Structure 1
Amino acid sequence: MDEVYDLIIIGGGPAGLTAGIYAMRAKLNTLCIEKENEGGKIAEAGIVENYPGFDNIRGFELAQKFVEHAKKFNLNITHDTIKKIDTSDRPFKVIGENNTYTAKAIIIATGTKDKKLGLNEDDFVGRGVSYCTTCDAFFYLNKEVIVVGRGTPAVMSALNLKDIVKKVTVITDKEELRAAESIMMERLNSAENIEVITNAKPLKILGSDKAEGVLVSIDGEEKEIKADGIFISMGHIPNSEFLEGSGIELNKSGFVVVDKSCKTNIDGIFACGDIAGGVLQVSKAVGEGAVALASASKYLNSLK
């Protein structure tokens, strides 16, 4: 594309949309590029109870409010899958599947994606295996399901399912299942239809035409645990593959390294939200979106 934008925001989740709202109010020529649906992974959450101003709201509804707010300010959002950022020259080039975009400054807000087991689960996705409880829970109304995972993601999945399915069996390879918030563990432990199996290492998804259960190893002994559906909740990894070779510094886990002003190691490039690591919470993402835009604005003013 011939147009040179003041700012390109890569990612249309809470962090990216917040940056976009502030950018439009600052009258910056801005383009937001989102791979899939605007709103980010918060749309997959069940009930959100820890975002200020909403004591109880569905994740999908909260995501839609972010999108509606951004569009109210006429944020230009396009859909493309970004393959590479070329930082070798100024202005920067953002190379996607559909187009190449050019900008004086970039904010990276691409978030995270679901971490896989690394077994044979890909053979059963859509056929009894899912990563999204809020998307697929009602397919298992009054049936028995398994959640394979660790920590807060596994606990959240079990709580999202408990009022829909007949029984939830949580399988974790850890000695103990823990969540970031004690209230979540209280709800898990008080649920009569949730069973937790610890020290269980998943070995294989069972089934032929569809998933029928999980083969696990407990204290060296193999055991088959059967269910109608399987939800994988192992946590998240950063969407940062497209940054390889860009010169933008990543830590050993693949998250973008930033300072307190959301600046990366390259002047004019910033990162915010889950892609920058730390606590993966929507309130943090929103705050960092505002900080990243303030830093980008200061940088753009310096060019003048």
Structure 2
Amino acid sequence: MCAVDSKTDYSNFFSDDSRKYLDELFKGFKETVKLELYTEEGPHEEFNRFAMNICRALAALCDKITLEEIPFSDERAQKNEIIVSPTILIAPDKYDLRFLGTPSGEEGRAFIEGIHLASIGAESISKSSMKILNMLQDRRDIKVFASPACPYCPGQVINAFKAAIGCPEYVSAWCVSTQENEEMAENYLVGSVPHTSINDDVAFVGLEPEDKFMAQLLHLKSLDEIMEGQGVFEESESEDAEVVDVDLVIIGAGPAGMSAGIYAARSGMEAVILEKHGVGGQVALTPKVENYPGFSDVGGLQLAEILSAHARIYTEIKQFVDVKDVRYGETIEVETDRIVYRTKGILIATGVDVKTLDVPGEKKFYGRGVSYCATCDGNFYRDKKVYIIGGGNTALTDALYLKKLNADVKIIHRRDKLRAEQALKKSVAAEGIEIIWDTVVTEILGEDSIEGIRVRNQKDGSESVLETDGVFVAIGHIPNTVIAGKLGVEFDSDGFIKVDGAQKTSVPRVYAAGDITGGVRQIVTAIGQGSVAALTAFQDFSVMGD
């Protein structure tokens, strides 16, 4: 058992950029948070060591974080029902928040934010969430299964942590890393992350808005099953919310949004970036990027971190913040859970979401054999048979990624030619990945989990059934235009926001950049559009005056 306070050995564990971000985060800490790290010698020694290092580093950097290292032989391990090494308890004197496994990658983001939330306490919980949590009258034990490469996972973990902090007498929240806990993930039938289990009985797949998460936690059923008229979402918080004045609100922290943040700040504007999920957008879901100038071969998540570190030098990025409403007027109001931003203009960089097949069985097996994110879920399909549906860059990139995981992967494409870049075509050919041409999936088959797919040849109409363990859908994207729709901007025939060469929409002082505008959807074009949009906003606001 060891109390750790060394600032010398662990102060350089994080990069300079990460330390700057953490220093800013630590300034908002209120109460001291104790971490208890439980470890047991054995096959997980590498994971134990990483968990120990990150915990020691955090304790060295912040005087409001303390750490105690406890072996499995200690009676507290049995008392706290510690079953996995390593396990980290966050503020165990107040809450049942714990991390099972090593908090690396995106899981590390959730871990650090969890510590932050524990320090702030119930003040971090919105009024609407507290209203729901106050209705609880019996236990809610939450397990969120996550992976280091899943950018959606931190948001769902934070939802769970907020529930446990808002209602500690009834709610526990565990983040379970599937990287080290494969057997546990199998027992819970996890096929896609984030996967949320409540009371080991009810399960939901995917990242959900906070209010939806809380409602499902209360009723132990999906939102579609919850009867209308419950009133759990009716209370508006805008009257009591903090009001913050900024020059430009940027919605979306993908390449376009982060680039805009840099250029806005350098132009002298005060800007804020609001991101519903984690930073990076579609880039963070890309296993490998080979066409970004200056980086011949870089991981998508790594590139997203590089971009976000640069953007944070100039402007604040608020992650896991959902925009509830926007109200257009001489001053535009952007409402979130806790803050109403009053701004001269809005830059919409909300990107795109995946397009679904819309075939029988797709919804049923989502998270149990059907996935839309190879980076998030590929690890579940090592040494298994999978099909990639699609013929563009994403489909081929996913196929190559799964091939490296030793999956038996084939591509199904509805045409006789691929739409992907030539370099990706050559890589797929070199790996010997088979492509089934002129074929579409018409049904996904199985009982409790996926067993096969029914396909139809487009040319001769013949049908057949192919056995498989998983299907990864990569057939394109649809724009996220809910906020744009509220502002009344004009869309093109495919549903993307219409912009001119200066990134102006049809509504004055509303700009758009990145994938949401359609056209050539690449990282470099998104960054260019984001910078142009910010400079255009600066010019427009300069004419307006103060």
Range class of TM-score, shorter chain: over 0.9
Does residue 474 of structure 2 align to residue 233 of structure 1? yes
Offset of residue 61 of structure 1: 0.2
Between the two proteins, the alignment pairs up a number of residues equal to 301
> Do structure 1's residue 16 and structure 2's residue 257 form an aligned pair?
yes
Q: Residues 99 and 224 of structure 1: is their aligned pair in 2 closer, same or farther, counting only changes over 3 Å?
A: farther
- Is the aligned partner of 1:109 residue 2:349? yes
Tell me whether 1:183 sits opposite 2:457 in the alignment: no
The equivalent residue for 2:453 is: 214
- Deviation at 1:70? 1.5
- Residue in structure 2 matched with residue 261 of structure 1 by the alignment: 502
**Structure with the higher fraction of residues in strand conformation:** 1
In the TM superposition, what whole-angstrom CA distance separates every residue of 1:222-261 from its partner, at most 9, and x where no partner exists?
A: 2111112110001111111332242211112111110111
Q: Which runs of 4+ in 1 moved over 4 A?
A: 96-99
Secondary structure of 2:363's match? Answer: helix
Residue 79 (structure 1) shift: 3.2
* Cα shift at 1:58: 0.3
The match for 1:62 among 303, 308, 314 is 303
Query: Does structure 1 residue 42 correspond to structure 2 residue 319?
Result: no
Q: Please tell me whether residue 199 in structure 1 is matched to residue 465 in structure 2.
A: no
Contact 2:243 / 2:340 at 8 angstroms: preserved in 1? no
Residue 522 of structure 2 corresponds to 281
Alpha-carbon offset, residue 10 of structure 1: 0.5
Separation in structure 2 between the aligned mates of residue 15 and residue 229 of structure 1, nearest angstrom = 33
For 1:250 and 1:33, how far apart are their aligned partners in 2? 22
1:160 and 2:401 are equivalent in the alignment: yes
Which of 1 and 2 has greater Rg? 2
User: Are the equivalent residues in 2 in contact too, given 1:128–1:228 (CA < 8 A)?
Assistant: yes
Look up the match of 2:62.
Answer: none
- Match of 2:364, as an amino acid? D
Give the C-alpha shift of residue 131 in structure 1.
0.8
Report the 3-state secondary structure (helix = DSSP H, G, I; strand = E; otherwise coil) of the residue aligned with 1:175: coil
Give aligned-pair identity as a percent: 38
Higher helix share: 2
1:176-195 Cα distance to aligned partner (Å, 9 max, x none): 3331x211111112222x11
Q: Secondary structure at the match of 1:215?
A: strand
Aligned residues of 2:348 and 2:484 also touching (Cα < 8 A): no
List per-residue Cα deviations over 1:185-225 (Å, max 9, x = no partner).
11112222x11111212111111211222111123222111
Using structure 2 for the length normalisation, give the TM-score.
Answer: 0.53
Q: Single out whichever of 53-62 and 121-130 deviates more from structure 2.
A: 121-130
User: 1:166 & 1:102 partners in 2: Cα distance?
Assistant: 50
- CA shift digits 1:135-183 (9 cap, x unpaired): 221211122111112333222221222222342111122233331x211
Aligned partner letter, 1:214: I
Q: How has the CA–CA distance of structure 1 residues 215 and 83 changed in structure 2, closer, same or farther, with 3 Å as cutoff? A: farther
Matched, 1:147 2:388: yes
Q: Which deviates the most, 242-251 or 44-53?
A: 242-251
Q: Structure 1 residues 140, 78: CA separation in 2 closer, same or farther (over 3 Å shift)?
A: closer
Root-mean-square deviation (Å): 1.7
Distance 2:506 2:385 in 1: 49
Tell me, which stretches of 5 or more residues in structure 1 are unaligned?
none
In structure 1, how many angstroms separate the alpha carbons of the residues matched to 2:315 and 2:347?
18
- CA deviations on 1:59-109 (whole Å, 9 max, x unpaired) are 00000111111222342425322354333x211122445554321111110
In structure 2, the CA distance between the partners of 1:98 and 1:175, relative to structure 1 (3 Å rule), is farther
**Paired amino acid for 2:358:** G
**Paired residue for 1:295?**
536
CA contact (8 A) 2:250 2:274 kept: yes
The reply to whether residue 93 of structure 1 matches residue 343 of structure 2 is: no
Structure 1 residue 27 corresponds to structure 2 residue 27 = no
Residues 63 and 199 of structure 1, relative CA distance in 2, 3 Å threshold = same
The structure whose RCO (Cα within 8 Å, separation 6+) is larger is 1
Contact 1:248 1:266 in 2 (8 A): yes
Give the Cα–Cα distance (whole angstroms) in 1 for the partners of residues 314 and 338 of structure 2: 25
Which AA in structure 1 matches 2:271? Answer: T
